[in-house]
């Protein structure tokens, strides 16, 4: 990144907790570049790249794609962006993702947002989404929730201990939730 030090926000939360929805609002209000790890992986599937079928099978099964693959996609987007303020949505999903990002990118997040949402609400939102995602079915949702609890919550706890975590109650209307998100960025000095 040469002389430009990036400002990195990780956006975490279970499936359907509203990460993507709130990221759009953060982009509009605070001018971040939104990088959804899941969207980048779905683009890889669509472009029929060498990893496409492996990524598709992993997503269908609610498992986590190897760190190197996801980080390479994130890195490419970061390096080609004029914007140095990044929202990295849905990553890191496990401790191994987190450590690999620190090693490869050589940076830690400035802020970590965590959208805390009850399981029943997450399931309801995902099943209602209707955008044809291969992982939006009851069978895969159960697997995604298990992986989230077992592997992603330790990452959330890690950043809580580091004092970087901003926990947001993800119940309510989109605007009510954004009212909790807004002060996190409004208070940012960098």
Residues that bind ligand UP5 (CB under 6 A): 13, 15-21, 37-38, 41, 58-59, 62-65, 70, 90-91, 93, 125-126, 129, 135, 144, 173-174, 177
Q: Using CB atoms, what's the residue nearest to ligand UP5?
A: 38
Q: What is the DSSP letter of 64?
A: P
18 binds, among ligand UP5, Mg ion, none (CB under 5 to 8 A by kind): ligand UP5
Helix 67-79, helix 95-105: angle, nearest 10: 40
Q: Which does 47 bind (CB under 5 to 8 A by kind): ligand UP5, Mg ion, none?
A: none
Q: Which is nearer to ligand UP5, 125 or 164 (CB)?
A: 125
- Residue 189 Cβ vs ligand UP5, minimum distance, rounded to whole Å: 28
For 146-188, strand residue ranges (E) read 165-169
Please say which residue, 65 or 111, places its beta carbon nearer to ligand UP5: 65
Among Mg ion, ligand UP5, none, the one that 64 touches (CB under a kind-dependent 5 to 8 A) is: ligand UP5
Q: What is the nearest approach in angstroms of ligand UP5 to the Cβ of residue 173?
A: 6
* Token digits of residue 42: 């779905």
**Spatial distance between the Cα atoms of 161 and 176, rounded to a whole number of angstroms:** 27
CB of 89 to ligand UP5, least distance (A): 7
CA 103 to chain centre: 19
Question: Which CA distances in Å does 170 have to 44, 80, 174, 178, 189?
Answer: 29, 32, 9, 9, 25
Which DSSP category does 134 fall into? Answer: T
Q: Is 161 exposed, middle or buried (0-12, 13-18, 19+ CB in 10 A)?
A: exposed
Which residues, 2 to 61, sit near Mg ion by CB under 5 A?
19-20
As measured in angstroms, the least distance from the Cβ of 64 to ligand UP5 is 4
Nearer to ligand UP5, 174 or 179 (CB): 174
With a CB cutoff of 8 Å and minimum separation 6, the contacts of 83 are: 31, 32, 33
- In the complex, which residues of this chain contact Mg ion (CB under 5 A)? 19-20
């Amino acid at each position: 990144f040469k002389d430009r030090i990036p400002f990195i926000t990780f956006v975490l939360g279970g499936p359907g907790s509203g990460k993507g929805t709130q990221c759009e609002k953060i982009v509009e209000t605070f001018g971040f570049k939104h990088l959804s790890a899941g969207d980048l992986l779905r683009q890889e599937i669509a472009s029929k790249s060498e990893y496409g079928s492996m990524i598709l099978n992993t997503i269908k099964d609610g498992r986590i794609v190897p760190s190197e693959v996801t980080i390479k996609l994130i890195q490419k987007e970061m390096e080609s962006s004029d914007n140095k303020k990044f929202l990295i949505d849905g990553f890191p999903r496990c401790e191994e993702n987190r450590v690999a990002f620190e090693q490869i990118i050589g940076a830690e997040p400035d802020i970590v947002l965590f959208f805390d949402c009850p399981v029943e609400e997450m399931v309801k939102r995902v099943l209602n989404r209707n955008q044809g995602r291969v992982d939006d079915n009851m069978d895969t949702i159960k697997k995604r929730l298990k992986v989230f609890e077992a592997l992603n919550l330790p990452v959330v706890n890690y950043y809580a201990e580091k004092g970087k975590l901003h926990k947001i109650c993800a119940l309510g209307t989109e605007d009510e939730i954004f009212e909790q998100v807004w002060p996190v960025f409004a208070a940012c000095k960098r």
